[in-house]
Structure formats: structure tokens, C-alpha cells
Structure 1
Amino acid sequence: MSVNIRVANAPVNFGIYAADRAPFTATELLSALAEAGYEGIDSGPIGYLGTVDTLPGRLADAGLALAGGWIDLRYGAEDGFSADQAGLEAALDVFTAVPVPDPVFAPRPTLACPDNAERMARPGIAYGTVEDWAGFAARVQRAADRCRERGLEPVFHHHLGTDVESAQEVEKLLEATDVSLCLDTGHLYLAGGDPVAALRDWAPRIKQVHIKDASREAMERTRAAGGDFAQAVRDGAFPVLGTGEIEMTEVVAVLQETGYTGWAVIEQDAPETGREPAGLLADQRTNREALRKAGL
């Protein structure tokens, strides 16, 4: 196990974003993930794990740290971006309320785009959707600067079905800003990229890693049937670690080779499947063991 990399989990693995009702309370989920061997957790929807007043105590009771959390901002237009600032500030209030003994493992505000309906309908097919890249990048930079003003280093998360999906779009954003990157192995792979090569090429900018396995075979099957991103998730585009097409030992090896330090967050983009909570938790135990066998 690396002393420079700690492994976290995330509420998205339990369908928290999609479900009308979470399968676990915050306290139940934190306790279960700590028992499964995780050292940290992503926030999930702001407020789910707790508020400024309650989250620090819940994390301390479970022995977990906060790895970061997702923040959607509409970078494509000034009016939407301005309207989203309140959500950014609310998230930063929560993140900065949590004590951080080691700055290397401070929570990373995860800056992301909202869903793009056209791309969600045809995920992983690279075509441009940003008309004003200069304005888009400038607003990403402003969001990153605000996070730093609040004492946290943000990371930008590329994602299938959004305006920044392909490796080429990631490169374009990195060239136009100084924002750090959250490299997501599964989303990059299904967008046609090579996550192992990207971990090397973008190493100086990578400040967080989201670990996913992925299946292009499942994605292609979904596309052929006319399915969208949500259907691809249901069809197994993001299987448990070790059962897809990404070689996790290579991912871990290049993280160690490049000297990455920080959080490795296991994410699986779980759908609202109606599965029993015990089955969802069993997947995350399997994921943790698979990453341990790979070297983390």
C-alpha cells in the first residue's frame, strides 16, 4: 500500500444521485466504507453526508477524511455561470469546515460541467459542443481561482455526456487554463482515450484520480441499440474493478512511476437499479480488494 496515495469511495457508487431515496443514511455509509478499508469519501450531493455543522463530526467518528466533492457549473454562458455561484460557495463552505491534518489529502473541489443533452444521448462520440472556448475556459479559470481563494486546490473532471469529454477537449482546456485535473480512467477510456498514457502525459496537472474500470464492448452494444449514457451505465459500461477492459495494475504502476500523491477515488457511476444495499456494498468491498491487489 502506498503511503503517498490514499483510497476513497463515493456516494455515486450507491446510486445516490439517481435514486429518490438513498440506500444508506450518511452514518451507515461512512461506517460501512470505513469497515471495508477505505480511508476517505467523496461528498456526493452537497448536504447528503452532512452540513458544515455535522459533517466534520461524522467523518471523525468513522475515521474517514473528505476527498472532495462534485460541483456542477455552467461554463458555457455567463448568466448560467453567475447563477451557479451560490452552489459553489455552499460546497466550499462544507469542504473548508472539515479539518485537514495533511494538506496533500485536502478535499478537492471537483469542477464539472452539467449534462449536455446531445452528448448524453450519444456518449463517447467526439464532436464539438462548445461554441465559445475562450469564454468557457475563462469561466473555468474564475471558478478555480475562487476555490484557491477559499484555500482549496480544485480539479476539473472530464465526463462522458458533457462539454469536456474527449482527450482533445481536455488538452484544449489544460492549455487555456491553469486548473488542475481529475483524471477519470473510465470516462477517458470510453471517450476513446488511453488512461495510462494520459496519466503520464498530464502528470504535472493531475491532482486527483477517479478509478473506474470500463467496457467499450458494453458501450458499443448500447450505442448500437440506440441507448443513451444512463442505459450504458445500466448495461455495464462501468463494471467492478478487474472485470472490465482497463488494466488496473498498469494504472497503479504509472501513478507510482510518476510520483502521484493524493486521493484515488473509486467511482463506478452506479445506476438506480433497485439492488439491495448489501449488494451495492459488496461491490465496493470487491473494488477495494481489487485495487489493493493492484498495489494500492
Structure 2
Amino acid sequence: MTLSRIRIGSAPDSWGVWFPDDPQQIPWQRFLDEVSDSGYAWIELGPYGYLPTDPDRLRAETERRELRVSAGTVFTGLHHGPEVWDATWEHVARVAELTRATGAGHLVVIPSFWRDDKTGKVLEDRELTAEQWRHLTTGTERLAREVGDRYGLRIVVHPHADTHVDTEENVTRFLDATDPELVQLCLDTGHYAYCGGDSVRLIETYGERIGYLHLKQVAPGVLAEVRAEDLPFGPAVARGVMCEPPLGVPELPPVLEAAQALGVELFAIVEQDMYPCPPDRPLPIARRTRQYLRGCGA
């Protein structure tokens, strides 16, 4: 099958980049050089401040490498209620402004972690109360309206391990409680499998809510260890829970075929979590992954 509606890209995450500035990460210039060399045409901005935040410089750096930006990313804790709105919007507005300036049309929204992804420290209860669910859903709808009205961007909410939007049950609850006209998902195949979900079934059931894809696979053996030990996400990644395709689950061809069948244009951004990783590790993996996806028709 030729996946004519799927636009393939990659992200700083696949180069071990989780933070704006970290001594264990490669310089942003090297990331841009290597992602272009790997055969990708699209990238995400990654953590705000990693790539240049001056729009003119960022455009110049991406254009000369024949790269385009698909989305920016923000983290939010909207389940805490209206009192966090102002601080949330300050962060979102900065990222949205830069995202719009690059010509991108999406803003990936990741709910805040209930435990720290580096230290494993428990920050709050892993289950939301009914009131917190209402804050999360109404706050997300408000964010979608504001981002759309002010910046012309579409938000796509990213179910993520160690957040409150993670399992099939919680993702379904979130979707059923939000306006389909406002709120779509960024389906991350690796995170959803990590949390026990079936990506193909989600696409077939909630197809109109799928606005964006992250392509990722989980190593089943490592995942079994992670679940048995209840490891936080960061240490799980360091152990190698996310692996390059086609070595893990879910199988990507059925996911891509289900997405193609939706009949809409979709970004599918490769995001193989690898923090921290040796600086020379990502490039060969990125090349092999791009070749593999070409073999899948993408």
C-alpha cells in the first residue's frame, strides 16, 4: 500500500533530546544536520529553547537543510483548574508564536506527569478526581479555542505514560468528555502500547479524533520488567523500553494502513525515546527507520 496521505518526519526526541539544554544532549546544529541526512523532510520543534527561538534564524537553519516544521510541543497541568491558566498560557503562547512563525499548523499538548520522569518522585495521585477531570476537559477545550483563535493552530493532545491520559480507559474518557470540533489526539503508538492500548482499534473507533501520529515501538521484554518493577518512564527509557522498528510493538504497517484509510492528511513523526544516549547512536537508527518506513509505503 502507498501511504499517500501520511507525511513522515522525526523529532529531537529521536536524538535523545528531552530538555532545552542538557550536557547529555547533542547540539541542535548536529540534530538538524543528521535528521536531514537521514532522509526526513519534517521535524518537530522539541523542547522550547533547544532549537533557535528567533523565527528568522530558525527558518534559515531549517530551509537550508530542506526541512519543514510540523508542530511545536507544550506541557500542561490543566487538571489543576483555572488557577494555573495564566502560567499555562504564558508558556503556550511562546511556543505557539514560534510554531506559527515556522508555518506549522499543530501544537502537541502533553498532560503533566504525576511522577517525575527523571527521579521517579511521586508528585500527585496517579488518578484524577471527578472535579479534576472536569478541569482537564474544560481547560483543554479552552486551550484549543484560544490557540486556534490567536495563532491559527490545531491542538492535538498526546496520551503519555505517567500522565493522567494514558490507558485506553482514560483516553476514552477524555475523548468522550471533550468537543470533537476542538480537541483531537496525537496518537503515540509507543506510549499507547506501553499503557496497554491498541492503536489500530483506537484509530478504527475514534478515527475522526486522530489528528496526528507519533510512531514508536515498545520492546515487550523490557516492558514486562518495567511493569513488574513499576518503573517511572524516564528510567524505563534508559533501560531501552522504546526500540527501533520493526523490533517491537505495535506493528507499524497496520497502524499506518488504518491511518491512511481515514482519508485525511496526517503527520506521522518518528519519536524513539532515547534519553540519555551516546551521541553517535541516533543517526544509524534514524537512517534504518526511515528506510523501514519507505518499505511500508510511507
Q: 2:99 aligns with which of 86, 90, 95?
A: 95
| Local SS of the residue matching 1:76 | helix
TM-aligned CA deviation for residue 131 of structure 1: 4.2
| Local SS of the residue matching 1:84 | helix
Q: Is the 8 A contact 1:9 1:267 kept in 2?
A: yes
Question: How is 1:1-296 mapped onto 2 (pairs within 5 angstroms)?
Answer: 2-17=3-18, 20-21=22-23, 23-51=25-53, 52-77=55-80, 78-99=82-103, 106-117=104-115, 128-132=127-131, 133-149=133-149, 150-178=151-179, 179-273=183-277, 275=278, 277-296=279-298
TM-aligned CA deviation for residue 204 of structure 1: 0.7
Q: Is the 8 A contact 1:122 1:229 kept in 2?
A: no
| Local SS of the residue matching 2:34 | helix
Q: Is the 8 A contact 2:193 2:249 kept in 1?
A: no
Q: Is the 8 A contact 1:130 1:163 kept in 2?
A: no
Q: Which amino acid aligns with 2:202?
A: A
CA distance in 2, matches of 1:46, 1:160: 21
Spell out, residue by residue over 1:124-172, the C-alpha distance to the aligned partner (whole angstroms, 9 max, x if none). xxx6334421122111111111111111111011100001111121112
CA distance in 2, matches of 1:129, 1:30: 39
CA distance in 1, matches of 2:250, 2:160: 17
Q: Is the 8 A contact 2:185 2:209 kept in 1?
A: yes
Q: CA RMSD in A?
A: 2.2
Q: Is the 8 A contact 2:117 2:234 kept in 1?
A: no
Q: Is the 8 A contact 2:4 2:260 kept in 1?
A: no
Alpha-carbon spacing, 1:74–1:197, altered in 2? closer, same or farther (3 Å): same
Moved beyond 4 Å, runs of 4+: 118-123
User: What is residue 103 of structure 1 aligned with on the other side?
Assistant: none
So what's the TM-score if we normalise by structure 1?
A: 0.89
| Local SS of the residue matching 2:8 | strand
| Local SS of the residue matching 1:53 | helix
Spell out, residue by residue over 1:235-286, the C-alpha distance to the aligned partner (whole angstroms, 9 max, x if none). 221100101122112112212222241210001111213x1x2211111112
CA distance in 2, matches of 1:216, 1:131: 33
CA distance in 2, matches of 1:59, 1:118: 32
Which residues of structure 2 form unaligned runs of 5+?
A: none
Alpha-carbon spacing, 1:169–1:92, altered in 2? closer, same or farther (3 Å): same
CA distance in 1, matches of 2:65, 2:24: 19
Alpha-carbon spacing, 1:166–1:122, altered in 2? closer, same or farther (3 Å): farther
Q: Is the 8 A contact 1:203 1:260 kept in 2?
A: no
CA distance in 1, matches of 2:117, 2:52: 32
Q: Is the 8 A contact 2:116 2:232 kept in 1?
A: no
Alpha-carbon spacing, 1:13–1:168, altered in 2? closer, same or farther (3 Å): same
TM-aligned CA deviation for residue 43 of structure 1: 0.5
CA distance in 2, matches of 1:31, 1:25: 10
Alpha-carbon spacing, 1:182–1:226, altered in 2? closer, same or farther (3 Å): closer
Relative contact order: is structure 1 or structure 2 higher (C-alpha 8 Å, sep ≥ 6)? 2
| Local SS of the residue matching 2:157 | strand
CA distance in 2, matches of 1:130, 1:92: 30
| Local SS of the residue matching 2:248 | coil
Q: Which amino acid aligns with 1:165?
A: D
TM-aligned CA deviation for residue 4 of structure 1: 2.0
Q: Is the 8 A contact 1:73 1:81 kept in 2?
A: no
Alpha-carbon spacing, 1:3–1:20, altered in 2? closer, same or farther (3 Å): same
| Local SS of the residue matching 2:78 | coil
TM-aligned CA deviation for residue 22 of structure 1: 5.9
Which residues of structure 1 form unaligned runs of 5+?
A: 100-105
